[in-house]
């Protein structure tokens, strides 16, 4: 089997490669060639940790396996290691033998950024100029960096509940040579694309804060009860997601569905747009909204890509098991 340690991922994995892997597996999910297994997520009653498994199989890419790990809230304070810890295990789908083990921490950040970036590529207006960020934590920097590559943006605007964190994303805008402006939520009306990446349990972005023609990627809601945007916004928008079942149960769409504003049938797979079986954006006035819930197949796809890159560069550790 091959091992790609966490420390190697940064030098190996590119945003382009993550984009390609995630786009491909979203397409395979929509065509029925790839599916995610039920997610296991357990509060284990030790160190306040959440631990679990996200697995799946992609018959097109022949990628089988799981991401295992979770959230250890005391890690940083107690052990000086990051709180989100995960590892991806890939199996040979022909024999069931373990094929690879890949550090999953940076990959998780990259695949989450790739997801909103795939949604921008396929759903934002071609002439989008203003990029809006709701949220300015560590993950927001990944989302913004990937988003800025999808259109010829001329400006970044940002809002965060704690404004002292805005320099995180301001730095990314500067790196891309773009001006940055901190705005109140009302200021998001100027954005052509908005990525929200918060861990909020109440909506920040309201329908009145979003202009016609905007593309939104809501990336923060992955648990029952979390919410980033007003449910009414989903009723006004054409809603896309990675996986419909997750979107309506633990994703941003859970609230609009629960309130009867939209039904499960109103939530479309982004993969259908990639495959061409859904037209995607139909006008410059349409609001499109991508509900990114995060699926195991994304993790497997980027992990498989990184294994290929590691083999190419002679970095993969081979262990005879």
Residues annotated as part of the active site: 67
Q: Which stretch binds a second copy (CB under 8 A): 46-54, 148-156, 199-207, 284-292?
A: 46-54
Spatial separation of the C-alpha atoms in residues 215 and 237, rounded to whole Å: 9
Q: Which stretch binds a second copy (CB under 8 A): 48-56, 143-151, 191-199, 237-245?
A: 48-56
Residues 266, 270, 276, 279, CA torsion sign? positive
- What is each CA distance from 15 to 18, 49, 142, 271, 302, in whole angstroms? 5, 30, 9, 19, 10
Q: Number of residues in contact with a second copy, rule: CB under 8 A?
A: 47
**Does the protein bind a second copy through residue 72 (CB under 8 A)?**
yes
Residue closer to a second copy, measured from CB, 229 or 306? 306
- What is each CA distance from 125 to 131, 188, 206, 219, in whole angstroms? 12, 16, 21, 19
**Does the protein bind a second copy through residue 250 (CB under 8 A)?**
no
Contact letters (x/-) for a second copy, 91-130, by CB under 8 A? x-xxxxxx--x-x---------------------------
- What is each CA distance from 211 to 16, 128, 192, 208, 253, in whole angstroms? 29, 12, 8, 8, 20
> SS3 for 267?
strand
**Does the protein bind a second copy through residue 48 (CB under 8 A)?**
no
Binding site for a second copy (CB under 8 A): 3, 5-6, 37-38, 40, 42, 44-47, 49, 51-53, 55, 57, 59, 64-66, 68-72, 75, 78-79, 81, 85-87, 89, 91, 93-98, 101, 103, 317, 319-321
């Amino acid at each position: 089997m091959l091992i790609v340690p966490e420390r190697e991922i940064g030098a190996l994995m590119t945003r382009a490669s993550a984009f390609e892997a995630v786009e491909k597996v979203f397409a395979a999910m929509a065509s029925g060639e790839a599916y995610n297994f039920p997610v296991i997520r357990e509060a284990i009653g030790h160190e306040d940790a959440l631990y679990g498994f996200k697995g799946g199989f992609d018959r097109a890419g022949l990628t089988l396996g799981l991401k295992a790990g979770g959230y250890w809230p005391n890690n940083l304070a107690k052990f000086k290691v990051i709180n989100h810890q995960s590892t991806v295990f890939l199996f040979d789908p022909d024999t069931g033998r373990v094929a690879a083990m890949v550090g999953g921490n940076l990959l998780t950040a990259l695949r989450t950024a790739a997801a909103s970036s795939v949604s921008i590529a396929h759903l934002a207006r071609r002439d989008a100029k203003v990029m809006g960020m709701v949220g300015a934590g560590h993950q927001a920097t990944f989302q913004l960096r990937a988003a800025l590559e999808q259109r010829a943006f001329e400006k970044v605007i940002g809002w965060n509940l704690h404004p002292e964190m805005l320099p995180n994303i301001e730095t990314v805008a500067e790196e891309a040579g773009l001006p940055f402006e901190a705005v109140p939520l009302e200021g998001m009306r100027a954005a052509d694309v908005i990525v929200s990446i918060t861990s909020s349990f109440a909506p920040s972005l309201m329908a009145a804060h979003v202009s016609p023609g905007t593309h939104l990627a809501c990336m923060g809601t992955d648990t029952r009860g979390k919410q980033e945007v007003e449910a009414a916004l989903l009723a006004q928008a054409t809603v896309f997601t990675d996986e419909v079942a997750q979107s309506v149960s633990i994703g941003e769409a859970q609230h609009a569905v629960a309130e009867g504003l939209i039904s499960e049938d109103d939530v479309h797979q982004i993969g259908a747009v990639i495959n061409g079986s859904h037209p995607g954006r139909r006008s410059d006035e349409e609001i499109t909204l991508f509900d990114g819930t995060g699926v195991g197949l994304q993790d497997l796809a980027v992990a498989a890509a990184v294994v290929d890159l590691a083999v190419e560069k002679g970095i993969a550790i081979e262990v005879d098991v």
